[in-house]
Chains A and B, each alone.
Chain A
Amino acid sequence: MRSSKRITVLFAAVVILAMAGSVLVVRRLDGARLRAEEDRALYLSDPKLLKRLSLGYSGLMADIYWTRAVQYFGSRHKEGARDYPLLYPLLDVTTQLDPHLVVAYQFGGVFLAQHPPDGAGQPDKAAEFVERGIRANPDAWRLYFNLGYIHYIERKDYVAARDAFERGSRVPGAHPALKLLAAASAQQAGTPEAARLLWSSVYESTEDQSVKANAARHLIALRVDEEVPQLEALVQRFRDNTGRMPSNFHEMVAAGWLRELPRDPTGLPYVLRDDGRVEVQSPEGLPYITKGLPPGYQSGPVGIKLQK
């Protein structure tokens, strides 16, 4: 009896410890997984074959492949990768298995289109991919919106963008912003107003936090791009009036030219240079801005300092 109890305790301990150990090892295994295998070989890349192999459960298979695409994009993005060789094949397999998985076209298109490291930098392929999604789901207004976004922002093809927004606005139940966007693409193509409307629509229509955050960063950048020239014009007027350059913004506030110290959207005061240029203090915190950058600083999702 005693011996039996001892065996029970001993083997129960083995079960618990071994299971706990296996959990720890799995966590390490995920880290040691074959990156090479992931990057270069997709087990099955032929959607037709996959469809047959899924024995009719292609919807579930598509969900698995979509999750893989998201995980793949997420992990590469986290590493700061600048290429995503498997993204399109994964999206292609996903949507061929389930052509009605609108979310895959919607986000997949954005992932594909955006410039590295925010995306794969394949806007043409992305536009083609979302167009295919529209053919399979002509009633999904979000896809027209995505297509318009890709044409407008990533391809700078304003005519194609207007066409996409217009087609989308005719879909029953479409977001009213599509009509405005179509008009803005036609009349104000390339202007900050049109860009602001587009990014506000992206911000309001998406539930995905990363897409929302990206839209917010663009809206903030637009604000900086608008404020910097305004401030520089004001400095110029000060100079014209007084015959000298203000030494800083405090001086302009004291003289009543400004109500308060001007600050960028991150809360840091703008800096006035000797030659009358206005700069942001920390361009790293303001990706996508095109104005107010220190000389030699290239804007982008991750600021790159080319020279001092």
Chain B
Amino acid sequence: MSSRLASIAYNTYREAVRDRVLYNLVVFALLLVTAALLVGQISIGIERVVMVNLGFTAITFFGVAIAIFIGIGLVSKEIEKKTLYTVLARPVRRWEFILGKFLGLVGTLAVNTLFMALGFFAALFFLVRDFERSDVSLFAALYFIVLQLVIVTAVALLFSSFSSPLLSAVLSLSLFVIGNFAQDLRAFASLMTGVSRWLALAVAYVLPNLSSFNVVSSVAHSQPVPVALVLWNTAYALLYAGAAVAGAVLVFDRRNLK
């Protein structure tokens, strides 16, 4: 089972690389180099803050774009190209296929984020010429970005298991945006009363809670990230992504592929 999962995951990764997904790294590198050169000249005192904000925001958006646009095609493209049948004709279960695809894309995103992070730290070092002890919190922020990408990938995969690629992209992107306002959603819900309160709360909890993953502005100001937040965010990402992938398996398992 594990070898089948691994080969599906590896092939998903290879396919993404073959699709020139990692070309975004070139754009990212250009963006950072330009920013590092420019910010130092036109601003005073906020070089580090701008660099962290810009770098991490770019890493998030590039990652989310890849997660969504590859995630939505993971199943539909295989059906369209009829390559799915050759895979499923082998002793591969449908759930293994879905899980393998998911792991493959998460792996791709992790590698992508790793390269972007290396570029970011190089640019930061060029700009400030020194790393501080508090910069450890930058790793926590990067880790949170990866966790966010895990959730977005799982959601995109879930949508792609029953919907058209275009609709899946729109829905996944919408959920990413709404998820960043999750805290406000819960605050709105708690202001309501009666049945509407419960309905609003249910919606607020079912939607992905991405706002607690966004610590970019605080780490830009060298504020520490509490260990509890790291633990709870990890637990949340695993649970939410687990639910979404299991949902995708349920849908895909019942789907008529004839």
Pairing of A with B: yes
Q: Are the C-beta atoms of B243 and A32 separated by less than 8 Å?
A: no
Q: Are the C-beta atoms of B95 and A14 separated by less than 8 Å?
A: no
A3 — nearest CB in chain B belongs to which residue? Answer: B93
Q: Are the C-beta atoms of A34 and B243 separated by less than 8 Å?
A: no
Which residues of the other chain, B, contact A22 by a CB distance below 8 angstroms? 205, 209, 236, 239-240, 243
Chain B, interface size category, equals: 35 or more
B95 — nearest CB in chain A belongs to which residue? Answer: A7
Is the C-beta of B188 less than 8 angstroms from some C-beta in chain A? Answer: yes
- Chain A, 34-72, CB within 8 A of any chain B CB: 34, 36-37, 40-41, 43, 64, 67-68, 70-71
Q: Which of B183, B221, B239, B254 contacts A41 (CB 8 A)?
A: B221
- Chain A, 1-34, CB within 8 A of any chain B CB: 4, 7-8, 11-12, 14-15, 18-19, 21-23, 25-26, 28-30, 32-34
Bound-state CA distance A218–B215 (Å) is 42
Is the C-beta of B121 less than 8 angstroms from some C-beta in chain A? Answer: no
Q: Are the C-beta atoms of B236 and A26 separated by less than 8 Å?
A: yes
Q: Which of B100-108, B109-117, B166-174, B225-233 contacts A (4 or more CB under 8 A)?
A: B225-233
Which secondary structure dominates chain A's binding surface? helix
Q: Are the C-beta atoms of A34 and B184 separated by less than 8 Å?
A: no
**Given A32-B229, A71-B187, are A15 and B217 neighbors across the interface (CB < 8 Å)?**
no
**Given A15-B247, A71-B187, are A25 and B223 neighbors across the interface (CB < 8 Å)?**
no
Which residues of the other chain, B, contact A18 by a CB distance below 8 angstroms? 239-240, 242-243, 246
Q: Are the C-beta atoms of A37 and B217 separated by less than 8 Å?
A: yes
A16 — nearest CB in chain B belongs to which residue? Answer: B243
Is the C-beta of B253 less than 8 angstroms from some C-beta in chain A? Answer: yes
B182 — nearest CB in chain A belongs to which residue? Answer: A26
**Given A11-B249, A18-B240, A33-B212, are A41 and B218 neighbors across the interface (CB < 8 Å)?**
yes
Q: Are the C-beta atoms of B212 and A29 separated by less than 8 Å?
A: yes
- A281: shortest Cβ distance to chain B, in Å? 37
Q: Are the C-beta atoms of A34 and B223 separated by less than 8 Å?
A: yes
**Given A26-B236, A67-B187, are A14 and B229 neighbors across the interface (CB < 8 Å)?**
no
User: Using a Cβ cutoff of 8 Å, how many contacts connect chains A and B?
Assistant: 98
- Report the interface size for chain A: residues with CB under 8 A from the other chain: 30
Q: Which of B215, B239, B243 contacts A37 (CB 8 A)?
A: B215
**Given A34-B229, A37-B223, are A19 and B95 neighbors across the interface (CB < 8 Å)?**
no
**Given A11-B253, A64-B181, are A25 and B215 neighbors across the interface (CB < 8 Å)?**
no
Q: Are the C-beta atoms of A29 and B233 separated by less than 8 Å?
A: yes
Q: Beta-carbon contacts of B75-99 to A below 8 Å, as 1s and 0s?
A: 0000000000000000001010000
Which residues of the other chain, A, contact B95 by a CB distance below 8 angstroms? 7, 11
Is the C-beta of B27 less than 8 angstroms from some C-beta in chain A? Answer: no
Bound-state CA distance A32–B229 (Å) is 6
Q: Beta-carbon contacts of B207-218 to A below 8 Å, as 1s and 0s?
A: 001001001011
Which positions in A face B, CB cutoff 8 Å?
4, 7-8, 11-12, 14-15, 18-19, 21-23, 25-26, 28-30, 32-34, 36-37, 40-41, 43, 64, 67-68, 70-71
Selected A-B contacts with CB under 8 Å, 25 pairs: A4-B253, A7-B249, A11-B249, A11-B250, A12-B246, A12-B250, A14-B243, A14-B246, A15-B247, A18-B240, A19-B206, A22-B240, A25-B236, A26-B186, A29-B209, A29-B233, A32-B226, A32-B228, A34-B226, A34-B229, A37-B217, A37-B218, A37-B223, A40-B221, A41-B221
